[in-house]
Structure 1
Amino acid sequence: MTDDTHQITENAVVPKRKVSDRTIAISCLAFFFGMVGMAFAAVPLYAMFCQVTGYGGTTQRVEQMSDTILDKKITVRFDANTSGGLPWQFEPVQRDVTMNIGETKLIKYEARNIAEKPTAGRAAFNVTPQAAGAYFNKVECFCFTDTVLKPGEDLEMPVVFFVDPDIVNAPELKGVNTITLSYTFFPIAMPAPLAASTDVKKNGTSGQL
């Protein structure tokens, strides 16, 4: 191959490589933003999946209590946390309870806003060991509910639950005598004042220019 031919070949390859690099970069960015969008869209679906299957230690939500109570005890411990700088004191009224498997229990958590202004939070939860989430059934709870507390306000939040008797047939939970139910409150934006919304409607100024 002559020098002229070699030079022509190099000149022909370089632009193609630049176009290829640019295409790859654009594709990567598109993939990244697409995955971010899918992640946000998938949050409700993932939460629903976890609640149905108990995946990741997510407890089950049921409408009725168990009709079977076993002559076998299990201890449930209660944990409370806050995240993201939420200025609340949050804790269970009692740290644990020992109960019969299948028995329905009522326990309570307490939250207090220690800030000098109203603040809002929303609680998420999980159970450990994670495999026990599929057998921990809540009849009533405060999870995923937006909660607003005034300065210094206290709130008592009940949880009604039972442990499914089928837990004794789960080989992965053989020998497990203690389950921990953990709640974490995260800060959320304060809702718009109702009076302000009413005034906007009366004045007919919905923000349109």
Structure 2
Amino acid sequence: MSGTDLSPQAKNQKTAMIVSAVVAGMIGLSFAAVPLYKAFCQVTGWGGTTQRAEAGAGQIVDRDVTVRFDATVGNGLSWRFKPEQVSQTLKIGETGLAFYEAENTTDHPVTGRATFNVSPAKAGLYFRKIECFCFTEQTLQPGEKVSMPVTYFVDPELAEDKQLDDVQTITLSYTFFKWDNGEENAADSDTAAE
């Protein structure tokens, strides 16, 4: 028997350690996947993810684009949510201001958070939001109705991208989901107990 030969028990222990390390690594990657994917989408505009901007474009291109507005509510959130306008037509680079209305239809405070995207997805890299209710969670009191603004523009670089010559309409979609926190869970368990 040479010095490099391992007993069956030692081989099993080595295999178990390797498998454990691989499983631990996979678990770690699964927790990192969502933030990494989100960061990737925000940098590249992948999947229609819009970009954030500190200020307006500063340049306006003589090309119209129509922005349509869409709103949905995810399961488990008892809100009414809708855009206050169907669409807006503006020049590329021009700053737009749109409003969405949300209403809490429950008898307790509810917190929600909006996810967003644009279609066609290839326009996501050029759709910039300066201010948006979607940047933070929103808490509505029982029966409260609010009008929430989004300030945006379409980056003038869109006009230089030949793959986007066919883009005349961009749809901005939001979906509000229930945002869980300690107060929410307590209110929900109180309601469920009744």
- Scaled by the length of structure 2, what TM-score is found? 0.80
Distance 1:121 1:188 in 2: 5
Structure with greater strand percent: 2
Correspondence for 1:113: 104
Judged with a 3 Å threshold, the aligned counterparts in structure 2 of structure 1 residues 33 and 156 are, in CA distance, closer, same or farther, namely: farther
Distance 2:23 2:137 in 1: 31
1:73 aligns to what SS in structure 2? strand
User: 2:173 is aligned with what amino acid?
Assistant: S
Q: Does 1:62 align with 2:45?
A: no
Q: Within 5 Å, give how 1:51-200 maps onto structure 2.
A: 51-192=42-183
Distance 1:107 1:144 in 2: 15
- % same residue: 53
The structure with the largest alpha-carbon Rg is 1
Higher relative contact order (CA 8 A, sep 6+): 2
Judged with a 3 Å threshold, the aligned counterparts in structure 2 of structure 1 residues 33 and 157 are, in CA distance, closer, same or farther, namely: farther
CA RMSD across the alignment:
2.5
Distance 1:85 1:192 in 2: 15
Correspondence for 2:188: none
Residue 117 (structure 1) shift: 1.7
Correspondence for 2:190: none
Correspondence for 2:5: none
User: 2:122 is aligned with what amino acid?
Assistant: A
How many residue pairs are counted as aligned between the two chains? 176
Residue 186 (structure 1) shift: 1.1
Residue 129 (structure 1) shift: 0.9
Distance 1:67 1:144 in 2: 23
- Scaled by the length of structure 1, what TM-score is found? 0.75
Distance 2:141 2:55 in 1: 33
Judged with a 3 Å threshold, the aligned counterparts in structure 2 of structure 1 residues 69 and 33 are, in CA distance, closer, same or farther, namely: same
